[in-house]
Chains A and B, each alone.
Chain A
């Protein structure tokens, strides 16, 4: 079974530039999560999708971050414009259902460095 795919693996940009990350969850998984993990901290949930609908985006900085999952499968996360403090690993995860007992499967992450 293929795991959660993410691209790119690494990205270096200058502040005020834009960047987009892509995630392909495990086939059949209805729930998709985007997390931000700053060095030395645990992951922080940015947004959670159930199929193509947003379930929770309360911690997404909506002035600069946006995410979509138009067809309920792949998802993109965009930052526009980037700030220095956005340097982090962006993790995508998916689970079969929207329940806390469900195992979340994580992708390899995209490491972003903003200069």
Chain B
């Protein structure tokens, strides 16, 4: 059972296209994170959401708490956007002695072709 599901698993787009990556989760959360992982590189945090919408440059992230769903949009995609995008959720805060384990999706591998 995966607490976090992402779609699609793989995505190829032409440069300039509008891209949407979806994330659905089944647990109650207090925060959702979108992460970017380049091949051979580390992970960079793009957004942390607990409600509504956030925008940073060409990236937009939205979350619908009632539907337990989040989307990451990339406008005017560029080859440098090629990476794996990972959705991670932080469950509703647990008692102090049990930690706050994050649940991660398996990632969406995006390739943007020039």
- A interface, CB within 8 angstroms of B: 4, 40-45, 48, 55-56, 58, 91, 93, 98-101, 103-109
Contact = CB atoms under 8 A, between A and B. Distances in A.
Nearest to A3: B42
A109 B96 CA distance: 27
Residue of A48, A58, A91, A101 with highest tally of chain B CB at under 10 A: A101
B106 A42 contact: yes
Contacts of B90: 99-101
B68 to A, nearest CB: 15
Interface residues of B, number: 31
B31 interface: yes
A100 B104 CA distance: 13
Contacts of B35: 106
B63 interface: no
Contact of B42 (A55, A100, A108): A108
Given A91-B43, A108-B41, A100 B102 contact: yes
Q: Classify the secondary structure of A's interface with B.
A: loop
Contacts of B107: 41-42
B44 A106 contact: yes
B10 to A, nearest CB: 11
24 contacts: A42-B86, A42-B104, A42-B105, A43-B43, A43-B86, A43-B88, A45-B101, A56-B98, A91-B42, A91-B43, A100-B29, A100-B90, A100-B91, A100-B92, A100-B100, A101-B31, A101-B50, A104-B45, A105-B45, A106-B35, A106-B42, A106-B43, A107-B42, A108-B41
A44 B104 contact: yes
Contact of B100 (A40, A99, A105): A99
Nearest to A6: B42
Contacts of B31: 100-101
Interface in B79-99: 86, 88-93, 96-99
Contacts of A4: 42
A25 B106 CA distance: 25
B33 A104 contact: yes
